[in-house]
Structure 1
Amino acid sequence: MINSLIHWCLHNRLVVALLALMLGVGGILVAPFDWEIPGVQRYPIGVDAIPDIGENQQIVFTEWAGRSPQDIEDQVTYPLTTALLGLPSVKAIRSNSMFGFSTIFIIFDDSVDFYWSRSRILEKLNSLTPGTLPDAVQPTLGPDATGLGQVFWYTLEGRDSDGNPVGGWDPQELRSIQDWLVRFALQSVDGVSEVASIGGFIKEYQIDVNPDAMRAYDVQLDDIFRAVRESNDEVGARTIEVNRVEYVIRGLGWIKDLDDLRTTVVKARDGSPITLDQVAEIELGPALRRGVLDKDGVEAVGGVVTARYGENPLAVIENVHEKIAQIAGGLPSKTLTDGTVSQVTIVPFYDRTGLILETLGTLEDALSLEVLCTVLVIILLVWRLRSALIISSVLPLAVLVTFLAMKLTGIEANIVALAGIAIAIGTVVDMGIVLCGNIQEKLDQAPPSEPRTQIVWRASTEVGGAVLTAVMTTVIGFLPVFFMTGAEGKLFRPLAFTKTYALIASVIVSLTLVPVLALILLRASKKDPTEKQAPRKFFARTLPWPTLLINGAVALAVALFLASAWQPLGPTHTLGNTLFVFIVVGSVLLFFRTLVFFYVSILRMLLRFKILFLSGVLFVILFGGVSWLGGPGPLRNAFPGLQKEFMPALDEGSFLFMPKTMPHASIGEAAEMLSMQDRAIQAIPEVESVVGKIGRVDSPMDPAPVSMVETIINYKPEFAHNEDGELVRQWRDEIKTPDDIWNEIATVTQMPGATIAPKLQPIETRLVMLQTGMRAPMGVKVYATTLEELEQASLTLEKQLQSVPGVRSETVFADRVVGKPYLEITPDRQELSRYGLTVKDLNDMIEVAIGGKPVTTTVEGRERYPVRVRYPRELRGDIESLENILIATNDGAQIPLQQVASINYVRGPQSIKSENSFLTAYVIFDHQPGMAEVDVAQTAEKIIRAQQATGEFTLPHGVTYEFTGTYENQIHAMQRLRLVLPVALLLIFLLIYMQFKKIGMSFLVFSGVFVAWSGGFILIWLYNQPWFLDVSLFGWDLRQIFQVQPISLSVAVWVGFLALFGIATDDGVLMGTYLQERFKDTPKTKAAVREAVLEAANRRIGPACMTSATTILALLPVLTSSGRGSDVMIPMAIPTVGGMLVALITVFVVPVVYSAMNERGKA
């Protein structure tokens, strides 16, 4: 099949060229990068910073204003939870009952379609039996978005024409503008699921009744309710026709201002009207709020834009920007007393565009530099511009075809998905190197009479099978990633697809386009009979001086361009960058050229000392194993083993500071503490902006109590360009990393009444909360049947965890389940019956007098505002006043509340959490620096359960607990890898066996996997050593240049190893192919065997070194990358670099062992 394909391509060159052009153009049109092409409409792939690895979750939100968490739990949350548990494919249901609302999170299996699950929930809600929920309580389905959908946060500020803050707007005005103008404008943007408001005050018409005046005028609350409702109405009376003209009839009556309410007639007595202002004070004021926004220590008003599920986040944000630009001029403005015009302006404080573009920019730079590195290596090693051009053409076309495949299969471009292409770059050109090299060799050897088409076809088909086998082993090596499930599957499956697409694209391009280009461009070398054969060249040919000069000039131009684009030392070190690139690239190429030059001599010596050499190989493998798992006994200190983690944290450029206040703190106290913390954080020089929130955004996606603080802290980048274009450092000398900034934040925010906050970032936090329900990556879920037992158990576990080794004691915090102060008014039913009152009469009075009751809603154009009735503050501000609230009896008498009820201080829940209908509380904690989450969590669980078993502490009967956190993703991923990895290795072995049809040869080639594996672990171990590359070369800190820092064994690193497995056998497959071809004529003696091995291996060493050099040098820009997202890419690249460096041993191992196998029984 491969032979036929190559034959068809060679005889249909124009068709192949046109197809290649079409694929290239298609790839450019869908590329995820910001490539502006004048006059051309592009359709780029959807992009985001990282994959959404959150749970497949839907939210059911139910509001019941003024009700306590216990009422919400008993009458709303629990009935709904039990009903929703019957939905198909539900994994778990988490709920949270809070003051005034219920939030239920339904988590479905990942295989369930997002919108199918929403339809099933709506069906269930619509089919609830009557009486399941209280009257007038209506559950709603949350936005069709995920927790990562909150892509754009902003504030509304008064600014002058130059963009300077000038104020002039009170929070109530800004909130009205947000609710009734900005929110709906942004809601109309394509791809936006929801725009929610936060901060400021909702305007409210407040009727504070005077009970003394009401008693004097004999007015009841029902009279006021009726009067207010009946004074706020409009009607339509169809039309009338007058003089053949039709008139529409309207009866006006909406309340427009306070005077309309004040003149409302409540009742008439003795023919005299009693108006509302005679029995009440009527003013405009703020409605009760459960959320506050603060910017730099000053209260603010803003909103949150949430992108719809499945939409392109970057496109949504760009659409939002366009809409903001459209409405900016139409937003309200006012002239201040000093004559300054203050225009309401939308000011973003969290815009994911920056993070997305920075991560894409890092990947774009890395891919571009990898391409340049690869091209430079090819030119310098091939020393033929035509061959270099052919080989280099494979790379960009394969990448563009990969983009096209991503678009067609709906794979989003993000840091992980594009990293799949980045780590495959070196492998992509290997096929072209092998094919082009073999074609050139056959052209040089073929007789002049043989047709060139036949020569190219014969050369291509000779290695075509081996090329395909080598690629298939790489693809098979990535099979475990395709079988990953859960969070790790969502994270890395896109990478597996992109890498596979890139490899398949490289095979297609190599087998179709390379032979065609070779037929057109390559020519047989002109042999000089007097030319010496040493020193050895890659294609056994010494070039004439003019050609050498041209090649050298092209290589120099590429190197200079690479240095200017790479800038590993920074943009200000032009000469240094050039020298660095020349030294690094030159050193690597010099090493490989030296290896090629002395290869035969080295191999000849190793063939004489096989046992000693293979013992050294075995030592390298053992060294890799010890670096991974740790050394025994006395070696344990030097080789402790690699730490583990799920995923390297992506540096988002911002922190999410999430402490909690004590449950008893009022919203005013919490807001004051928030302001103090924000001012303290803003004073840190490295901090750019601080916007904090307490309580909740007006959205089902944010069920936060007023005790929860969420502060987004944007810090300055370490380097920035000044006005002169120079790159200057913005951090103080003592600030080396973002962790240092966080440590300062943690120091200045230590205040009485606030807890310690774990170090989190905005996206990271959303993922943590989606996966675990907690605000920390590690914790304990406690289950109980009563709230009191739940709190007792949580506090006991909190105390025990503080003494566990590896746990940061100051970060241990248990939910204060029943820590909220309550005033409970208990009716005396006997006294109520004496006065002819019911419990409902009493509770209605409590609700209106203390909490206030909405009576109607004004209609002011497009705006709507509530009208509420309540007692004035001085009559409900303390317990004594509450006891004297008057309750009207049926005969008109007024009796104080204390005569028919008792008022008591008690403690109750601030919120009631449950999971699958079981009451739940969380005890969160964090690990000590330098320790792995999974190790600390497993150790903590082991210690705590052992302490419980020995009776060191006891828990109430029926209480259970489980340790949970994001580390469970790592455990799950490792379990999956232990199952699938052996299968993948077996398939790789079977592919190799299908190529060679000999078990011994197959095992020999397959051994390259273990050699390369050890190399990857050794390099990771070196990265964890403080002395590794701790040298200064011409003033350059090599540790900083190559981003040398401790690397943990994360799933990302394992993915890097999986990428290495297939590559590790490529050289062995091709080396074995040449050896088998040479041994078709079986040598008769040991000496003849060795000479045959030397001859066959010598043919392969050039392409083998070239493929290794391209793979290693192509990944060097990734290792030196310091942009946003590099912290995710580098751990994936390290195994391949280390593995390929050590895997070079296989170019000796395969011929040495093959020689030993064939020397047996020979003299």
Structure 2
Amino acid sequence: DLREIQDWIVKPQLRTVPGVTDINTLGGHAKVWQVAPWPDRLAAHGVTLAELVQALERNNADVGAGYVERRGEQVLIRVPGRLGSAADIADTVITQAQGVPLRVGDVADVGVGAELRTGAATANGREVVLGTAFMLMGENSREVALAVERRLGEINRSLPAGVSAQTVYDRTTLIDKAIATVQANLLEGALLVVAVLFGFLGNLRAAVITAAVIPLAMLFTFTGMVANKVSANLMSLGALDFGIIVDGAVVIVENCVRRLAHAQAAAGRALTRSERFDTVFAAAREARRPLLYGQLIIMVVYLPVFALGGVEGKMFHPMAFTVVIALLGAMLLSVTFVPAAVALFIGSHVAEKENRLMAWARRGYTPLLDGALARPPLVLAVAGVCVALSALMAWRMGSEFIPSLDEGDVALHAMRIPGTALGQSVAMQRELERTLAGVPEVARVFSKIGTAEIATDPMPPSVADTFVMLKPRAQWPEPRLPTAALVGKLQAA
């Protein structure tokens, strides 16, 4: 029986995986010994149902008998009294009359049965046994999921012929997608910032020095995350803004380049190493205070997030911590590393010149600025109207706790008439799964009906959680089909 294999082979081995606290089982029939008494026989022998139950309890227990010492060795004594078969149960003595024992088999039928169940599991139109691995709080979900997958491969080699334990939902798939998204966004953001820096600064060395703050600030951030056990995920790294991170470095570099160019023009020659150091020090000190204030103001904005508690605190604390630690690292680098790098690597010939991009931007910006300064009432009126319209739109805009995340699969809730029996729900669910599995984009379908062994998500037998696992988009008949259109297709099926 699948449930027996789950309870005695699969579940005990999975519970030993580091980071796993328990395995929640759903489906199958839990094997039990059933004692069905005959009321007329009980009445004929003058035995009550309570006496029958007490007799079974008394005769189904192991008893300790202390220990004995022999030749310096201590030996524990135990009297095993567990019932091991239907025959043992039937031979259990309830009472005796005139020296004749009355046994359980005389007043009841004994046999193997199934425990009353509150839930079931199905997959691809067949009834199965489903196990869910529970992770310990604070563990790394990706590492635990990979460890469970490896252990499951080992367990499969010890299962009976024709039986296999398959993974129907693996969290590492979603985690890997999220990590890949974060990596791509961080890389693309860094490259875009470097390109913009080079375009506006017009000095390759200055752009490289400024861009070097990005990996150094990320190293600072990752060090703080590891020290405080904050995992790298979509929430913790998704709020990082490289533009804000290099903002202070841009101010320092621009001011240093400007001061070096002026000093070189005043001296009429290339500056010596000592003169470059002095000039850069003066330039960094000049921009230090506004730079520090600007970075600290941004950090203060995130401080209220640390006051959040409950679920929202657990979700958004990593984001606020990552942003604050990244800004702190960038601020320290801006007043230490950046001035030193400018003094050492900017070169001996420095010229403050406007590149084509900045000249084009200046030509477009100058008349706009002159027009705004010439008409202050009009500018203030337009700005006020824009603020009012923004407030109106914000008031009418919808809101949600977290943005929706497309995992690449579909989950649906199958609800039937209240009071539907579990057997009827299973039959209807199997038919539903066969229909969904016929859609070409679907790889497999599995469902949880009712309540599992550990009632973490209690539901009546009339309700089922159905998970539709999709094939990779490259294997779809129409790879560009939107998810909403696919959901409509599933509903129509």
- Measured after TM superposition, the shift of residue 216 of structure 1 is 5.6
Q: Distance in 2 between matches of 1:734 and 1:391?
A: 40
The aligned residue for residue 705 of structure 1 is: 460
SS of 1:281's partner is strand
Asked if residue 661 in structure 1 is aligned to residue 416 in structure 2, the reply is yes
How has the CA–CA distance of structure 1 residues 226 and 626 changed in structure 2, closer, same or farther, with 3 Å as cutoff?
closer
**Residues 1079-1094 of structure 1 correspond to what in structure 2 (within 5 A)?**
none
* Contact 1:443/1:523 (8 A) holds in 2: no
Q: Structure 1, residues 529-549: CA drift from partner, whole Å, max 9, x if none?
A: xxxxxxxxxx4178xxxxxxx
SS of 1:348's partner is coil
Q: Distance in 2 between matches of 1:379 and 1:606?
A: 25
How has the CA–CA distance of structure 1 residues 484 and 207 changed in structure 2, closer, same or farther, with 3 Å as cutoff?
closer
How has the CA–CA distance of structure 1 residues 213 and 302 changed in structure 2, closer, same or farther, with 3 Å as cutoff?
same
Q: Distance in 2 between matches of 1:605 and 1:284?
A: 89
Q: Which amino acid aligns with 2:486?
A: I
Asked if residue 403 in structure 1 is aligned to residue 222 in structure 2, the reply is yes
Q: Structure 1, residues 673-708: CA drift from partner, whole Å, max 9, x if none?
A: 222233333233333322212221121423333233
Which sections of structure 2, spanning at least 5 residues, go unmatched?
none
SS of 2:236's partner is helix
- Measured after TM superposition, the shift of residue 641 of structure 1 is 5.2
Residue correspondences, number: 486
Asked if residue 651 in structure 1 is aligned to residue 470 in structure 2, the reply is no
* Contact 1:439/1:460 (8 A) holds in 2: yes
Q: Structure 1, residues 468-526: CA drift from partner, whole Å, max 9, x if none?
A: 23323333444554555665555434323322222221111111001111122112327
The aligned residue for residue 10 of structure 2 is: 182
* Contact 1:444/1:524 (8 A) holds in 2: no
SS of 2:248's partner is helix
* Contact 2:372/2:379 (8 A) holds in 1: no
SS of 2:443's partner is strand
SS of 2:168's partner is strand
Asked if residue 502 in structure 1 is aligned to residue 326 in structure 2, the reply is yes
- Measured after TM superposition, the shift of residue 215 of structure 1 is 5.2
The aligned residue for residue 207 of structure 1 is: 35
Q: Distance in 1 between matches of 2:371 and 2:200?
A: 30
The aligned residue for residue 825 of structure 1 is: none
How has the CA–CA distance of structure 1 residues 599 and 703 changed in structure 2, closer, same or farther, with 3 Å as cutoff?
same
Q: Distance in 2 between matches of 1:185 and 1:365?
A: 38
Q: Which amino acid aligns with 1:519?
A: A
How has the CA–CA distance of structure 1 residues 594 and 207 changed in structure 2, closer, same or farther, with 3 Å as cutoff?
same
Picking from 445, 449, 457, the partner of 2:262 is 445
Q: Structure 1, residues 221-246: CA drift from partner, whole Å, max 9, x if none?
A: 35543543454344455567899998
Q: Distance in 1 between matches of 2:218 and 2:62?
A: 65
How has the CA–CA distance of structure 1 residues 436 and 217 changed in structure 2, closer, same or farther, with 3 Å as cutoff?
same
Q: Which amino acid aligns with 1:398?
A: A
**Residues 621-700 of structure 1 correspond to what in structure 2 (within 5 A)?**
622-623=385-386, 625-626=388-389, 629-630=392-393, 642-700=397-455
The aligned residue for residue 90 of structure 2 is: 262
The aligned residue for residue 485 of structure 2 is: 740
The aligned residue for residue 946 of structure 1 is: none
The aligned residue for residue 350 of structure 1 is: 169
Q: Distance in 2 between matches of 1:286 and 1:474?
A: 63
How has the CA–CA distance of structure 1 residues 443 and 419 changed in structure 2, closer, same or farther, with 3 Å as cutoff?
same
How has the CA–CA distance of structure 1 residues 618 and 192 changed in structure 2, closer, same or farther, with 3 Å as cutoff?
farther
SS of 1:714's partner is strand
Q: Percent identity?
A: 28
Q: Distance in 2 between matches of 1:597 and 1:375?
A: 20
SS of 1:188's partner is coil
Asked if residue 392 in structure 1 is aligned to residue 220 in structure 2, the reply is no
The aligned residue for residue 317 of structure 1 is: 145
**Residues 242-253 of structure 1 correspond to what in structure 2 (within 5 A)?**
251-253=79-81
* Contact 2:37/2:107 (8 A) holds in 1: yes
Asked if residue 615 in structure 1 is aligned to residue 392 in structure 2, the reply is no
* Contact 2:199/2:357 (8 A) holds in 1: no
**Residues 695-1094 of structure 1 correspond to what in structure 2 (within 5 A)?**
695-717=450-472, 719=473, 728=474, 730=476, 732=478, 735-737=481-483, 739-748=484-493
Q: Which amino acid aligns with 2:336?
A: T
Q: Which amino acid aligns with 1:515?
A: P
Asked if residue 475 in structure 1 is aligned to residue 299 in structure 2, the reply is yes
SS of 2:465's partner is strand
- Measured after TM superposition, the shift of residue 176 of structure 1 is 2.3
Q: Structure 1, residues 1082-1106: CA drift from partner, whole Å, max 9, x if none?
A: xxxxxxxxxxxxxxxxxxxxxxxxx
Q: Distance in 2 between matches of 1:657 and 1:396?
A: 43
Q: Structure 1, residues 792-812: CA drift from partner, whole Å, max 9, x if none?
A: xxxxxxxxxxxxxxxxxxxxx
Q: Distance in 2 between matches of 1:181 and 1:614?
A: 80
Q: What root-mean-square deviation, in Å, do the aligned CA atoms of Structure 1 and Structure 2 show?
A: 3.5
- Measured after TM superposition, the shift of residue 664 of structure 1 is 2.2
SS of 1:690's partner is strand
- Measured after TM superposition, the shift of residue 362 of structure 1 is 0.6
* Contact 2:94/2:102 (8 A) holds in 1: yes
* Contact 1:606/1:613 (8 A) holds in 2: no
How has the CA–CA distance of structure 1 residues 436 and 256 changed in structure 2, closer, same or farther, with 3 Å as cutoff?
same
How has the CA–CA distance of structure 1 residues 289 and 541 changed in structure 2, closer, same or farther, with 3 Å as cutoff?
closer
Picking from 7, 14, 21, the partner of 1:193 is 21
Q: Which amino acid aligns with 1:610?
A: L
How has the CA–CA distance of structure 1 residues 276 and 512 changed in structure 2, closer, same or farther, with 3 Å as cutoff?
same
* Contact 1:261/1:282 (8 A) holds in 2: yes
Q: Which amino acid aligns with 1:615?
A: L
SS of 1:670's partner is helix
Q: Distance in 1 between matches of 2:29 and 2:361?
A: 80
Picking from 155, 159, 164, the partner of 1:332 is 159
Q: Distance in 1 between matches of 2:480 and 2:191?
A: 36
Asked if residue 286 in structure 1 is aligned to residue 114 in structure 2, the reply is yes
* Contact 1:696/1:704 (8 A) holds in 2: yes
How has the CA–CA distance of structure 1 residues 685 and 621 changed in structure 2, closer, same or farther, with 3 Å as cutoff?
farther
SS of 2:165's partner is strand
- Measured after TM superposition, the shift of residue 304 of structure 1 is 1.9
The aligned residue for residue 343 of structure 2 is: 519
The aligned residue for residue 197 of structure 2 is: 378
Q: Distance in 1 between matches of 2:320 and 2:68?
A: 72
Q: Distance in 1 between matches of 2:330 and 2:23?
A: 45
Richer in helix (by share) = 2
How has the CA–CA distance of structure 1 residues 414 and 625 changed in structure 2, closer, same or farther, with 3 Å as cutoff?
farther
SS of 1:288's partner is coil
SS of 2:449's partner is strand
Asked if residue 427 in structure 1 is aligned to residue 244 in structure 2, the reply is yes
- Measured after TM superposition, the shift of residue 301 of structure 1 is 1.0
The aligned residue for residue 599 of structure 1 is: 362
Q: Which amino acid aligns with 1:740?
A: A
- Measured after TM superposition, the shift of residue 454 of structure 1 is 0.6
Q: Which amino acid aligns with 1:622?
A: V
TM-score (norm 1): 0.38
Q: Structure 1, residues 34-53: CA drift from partner, whole Å, max 9, x if none?
A: xxxxxxxxxxxxxxxxxxxx
How has the CA–CA distance of structure 1 residues 452 and 247 changed in structure 2, closer, same or farther, with 3 Å as cutoff?
closer
- Measured after TM superposition, the shift of residue 667 of structure 1 is 1.9
Q: Structure 1, residues 256-280: CA drift from partner, whole Å, max 9, x if none?
A: 2222223444555676655443433
How has the CA–CA distance of structure 1 residues 463 and 229 changed in structure 2, closer, same or farther, with 3 Å as cutoff?
closer
Q: Which amino acid aligns with 2:119?
A: G
